[in-house]
Structures are given as structure tokens and as C-alpha cells.
Structure 1
């Protein structure tokens, strides 16, 4: 399959970075590959762009004037929010882990090559596309009192509360419910959620699984997603396709 067939057409991308030259270079490169680019220098401009355009991916620098990127990232969490690719010039593991814990879907260290940036954006868009369910597939799954609607990208707890999940968490849950009572390795989960070209990022998968498991356990009172040390993760529940 050609690369152009994998790339969603006219996806809206927002770049938030106070380095004007770097931001424009990234925007020009991505625009040259068919995307609709929007730019912001800080959190205020970013929120205005998010309100005005159907942004699908936010490329977000950690260090910004005023409100920092981590705070903005946290505010974007939610099933209907854009995917977030964090950028940092520091490269320290604490910033990387914190960004992922706050809801980022991916994280790269600057300077990042235009080609790698493009690959990361395409991977995030591919993941979002995988969440759109064809009519031939099952749309809703039930497990342990939960209902997971793949079309609405919505998880309801046994008390009918809607749980707020990030796009990354939704992708992981989709992989688990479609492979119930089967151990999935980190590599398999990376392929399910990021496409066949993905390189497994063990720590990222671990963090997102941990967040997802905490949200589900708080509602169920029991451990539904279990870890098999050295092997991977399993949804230890009977799943019914509705």
C-alpha cells in the first residue's frame, strides 16, 4: 500500500511552539504533505485555534510562555479530544513520563527531523482512524458490567457513568476487548494502537495501561486488566459482543 493511501486527507494539525522559525518550518513541511496546519505561540492562542478548527493532532512543546505544555496537555484529555504529540528539548525521562501520564499519546525530543515528525503524526492519525468502526465490525462490547462503544469511542461503567479516556487509552482498550482472555505483549499492543510501522515504546504502553487499569478498577472494585510479568497484559473477563 502506498504511503499516500495511509494518510488521512486534510487532517487538521495544530503546532504550539514559541520558537517562530522552528514552528513555521514544521508547519511548512507538514503542509507540503497534504495536512491543514494551524499555529500557536502559547496556550491562549492554542485554545483559540482549538475552538475554531476541528484539530485532530496537537504538536505541543513542553516549554511555553505562560501556561506550560504539560498543563495544556492535561486539559486536552478526553475521548473526543485531539491526539497529543509532546515536544521537549530537554529529553529527560521525568518529562517524558510525566507527559504520558498527563495524557500525551506520543513524545519526541527536539531536535526532531521533519521526516520523523511526519511519521509520528501519521501514526497518531492512523490510530484515530482505527477507532472509527466499519459497519461490518462489532460496535459495542460488554464486560464485567462495562459497555464499550467503539463508534462513539465511549466507555460506560456499571453505574452508567461515562469514563473519560484519552485516545491512547481507547485504542488499548479496543485491542484488549477484541482479544479477551488473551495475553497481549507490548509489541502487539503497539501494533494494534499505532499501526504496523510502530516501534514499541515499553514505558509508554506501561503508563497508558496503568492509567486505564486504575480508571476501570476504581469503578469495578476488582482487577480486570492484569499484568503477566515478562509477557504482557490481559483483559481477564468474559466479553460479549452486542
Structure 2
């Protein structure tokens, strides 16, 4: 199994993702939100690139949808929920369709539509993702959503953890960047000691969202694998 890694949404290219198993990671916080919402009973999550597209899609049947997302880490005006996974509780999302748009995560997902399999990963479901990758038995590309088109330390170490799990359970051939991500994780298994220096981590902390950070750094608390197909994310 060959394993590669793309460092941000701006670096996604068709030649790198076509025909591969792709895992999109936006640990802080979009892929953590998606995984949590589906685990708490949401029917599906539909990602959009823009606020306008999300509003247009939901306008005729608003009561059946939850609008969620952010711009610059802040809740979008007129939306039901922000990009905090802690808001997507069962009482709100069960049996609902979540319409979502974020600055980085949904853009990364939409950019990988040519993948053979497109999985949604985070720390909270990393072992489940690794297990599914092995079952799919295909070359893998981890796609870090990044932050505003730039490299993001949090997504990088999350990918490193998943790569470490794969190495423990399968024969892998790592690119240099994939090996580096794994090495970073092995040097910082507590996660926080590395990402405390990340710009995005500190933006979220400055907004008083420490509980979100604590939740998103938890490993393997959910055993589901969301996947993107025909414009929708389901399990």
C-alpha cells in the first residue's frame, strides 16, 4: 500500500487523488463535526463551498435541515450551529440533514470528488478509518484541509497517527511527507504538545473554545467511518 499526503486544500491535484482512497482531515474542526453529527443520528451531511449555495439548497424545506459551519472560525449569520462538534448533540441532529460549509474542510472534500473512495477522518475516529483503509486495499492519500490554503500542524499530526496505525497493521510504502507526519506523531503522541504551537489551534483558543480543542484531540472515541458519495456524506 502506497501512502502519500497533501498538506492543504490548495495543494489538491487530480493526478494525486484520482482512483485512490482519500482521507480528508480537518481535525479542528470540520471533520470532527461531521463524524460527531453522523454518530449522533444525522441522516447525512451535505457539504457546500459557499454560504449562498447552502442557503439556496435549504430554503424550500428549512425545517428538515440543520445549517452548520463557520467563516474565520465564527458561526455564520443565519445558521443554526457553528463549527463546534459539541453543538451537534443527538437532540438537535437526530434524523436531520446537516447542511455544512466551512473555510477549509468542505473545500477539501469537494476538491477530492474524483477519488475512488473518499473518507472523512479525525482523531476521534482514526482507528476506524485505518481499519477501513486496510479493508479497501488501495493506495491512500491523506488530504489535510489546512488553514486558508496553508499547512496546518493539527491536520498533519492527525494524518501521522493514522499512518502509524496503518504501518502497525499492513505493509506500507510511505512518501517522504507521509513518513514525516508519522514521525511527528511518534514524537508527540499526546497531540497537544505539538499543536499548541499551531496558528489555527490558537485562533480557536482565543475564541474561548478550549472544550472543542479537548474534544477534537481525543483518540478513537467514535467507531464510524463517514464517506462521501454523490455529493453527500453518510455512514
User: TM-score category by the smaller chain?
Assistant: 0.3 to 0.5
TM-score normalised over the length of structure 1: 0.31
In terms of fraction of residues, the more helix-rich structure is: 2
Structure having greater relative contact order (Cα 8 Å, sep ≥ 6): 2
Report the TM-score, using the length of structure 2 for normalisation. 0.32
